[in-house]
Amino acid sequence: MTSVDSPVCASQGDILISEVGPRDGLQSLKATMPTADKLRWIDALYAAGIREIEVASFVPARLLPQMADAAEVVRHAITLPGLTVMALVPNLRGAEAALAAGVHKLTVPVSASEAHSLANVRKTRAEMVEEVRAIAALRRERAPHVGFEAGLSTAFGCTLQGEVPEDEVIRLAAQCIEAGADEAGLSDTVGYANPAQVRRLFRRLRAELGEHAGAAHMHNTRGLGLANCLAAYEEGVRTFDASLGGLGGCPYAPGASGNVVTEDLVFMFEAMGVRTGIDIERLIAARAPLMAGLPGEPMYGMTPEAGLPKGFNAAHAAKETKNV
């Protein structure tokens, strides 16, 4: 969900694909992508039709050197017309820096697992809800037009804690909305989720939060990323996070690996006749600046490797699907 005054592209389509590669895709890598290459990559994503990008995380450079150029990256991204520029902020200090840089949307990681919360942000879940409250107050005072979401990490399970009770996930999401977040989405941080669980939890989330229920952020750790996104779509979710080339993973969650591949997700939805507003050929071409900035880094994705089906046309796919 974008804020009321956030830029929105008219060709956005039936769903919104939010590209998180420049933040989530890079944060767990040992290599640091040069700033100039990041900017070229963001430009290529934008040229493909991506209209929401999580471009950076505002954290101390000593903790995540990959994000040391966050303010510079934001300042470039906000010059692209119609692009919603999003940044992750783990605390009030990060939110202050992100707002000063000019972001359109803030996202705060609030872990449903107490063990992961302590490892990731060194705060309990209750303390993170209070952090959400403080950031919401700052947003109201300085930039009420900026969007603000809480992303519930490890909502489907945790490598540190194991099972995360669903009642606790829903309760925490409601607490985040009460504290001032515009929306709360669910993240499968370590790739534990299955489609039945995704349907059940998003059904409960939407029943509890209504229009404040947010995005699906799935990982493909065990090969179920696309299936889980489809399950979320069938429950009414219309915003999906994904990472070009499948890069990503939480450095504070052992065993976590790549995000859902943006190219595969876009192909799946377009083949179904669900419009994304994204040119898939240009999206695949956006891998070039990514690979140039991260030479030797493995890239994932079935669609880029196999190529598009002969004669594939997204508009044709939409027409054929509606005629079935």
Residue 7 has pLDDT above 80, yes or no: no
Between 12-16, 220-224, 286-290, the lowest mean confidence (pLDDT) is in 12-16
pLDDT band at 13 (very low <50, low <70, confident <90, very high): confident
For residues 175-204, give the mean pLDDT: 97
What is the pLDDT at residue 311? 86
Domain count of the chain?
A: 1
What is the pLDDT at residue 296? 92
What is the pLDDT at residue 28? 82
Buried b (16+ CB within 10 A) or exposed e, 290-316: beebbeebebbbebbeeebeeeeebee
- Is residue 214 included in any domain, yes or no? yes
CB of 24 within 8 A of CB of 59? no
Q: How far apart are CA 231 and CA 29, in angstroms?
A: 29
- Is residue 6 included in any domain, yes or no? no
CB of 52 within 8 A of CB of 86? yes
- Is residue 2 included in any domain, yes or no? no
Residue 256 has pLDDT above 70, yes or no: no
Average pLDDT, the chain: 91
Taking the whole predicted model, whether its pTM rises above 0.75 is answered as yes
What is the pLDDT at residue 277? 96
Domain with 79, as residue range(s), is: 16-323
Residue 36 has pLDDT above 90, yes or no: yes
- Is residue 294 included in any domain, yes or no? yes
- Is residue 177 included in any domain, yes or no? yes
Which DSSP category does 25 fall into? I
- Active-site positions read 250
**Cα distance between the two ends of the chain:** 30
For residues 19-39, give the mean pLDDT: 94
- Is residue 265 included in any domain, yes or no? yes
For residues 54-60, give the mean pLDDT: 96
- Is residue 5 included in any domain, yes or no? no
CATH number for the domain that contains residue 46: 3.20.20.70
pLDDT band at 257 (very low <50, low <70, confident <90, very high): low
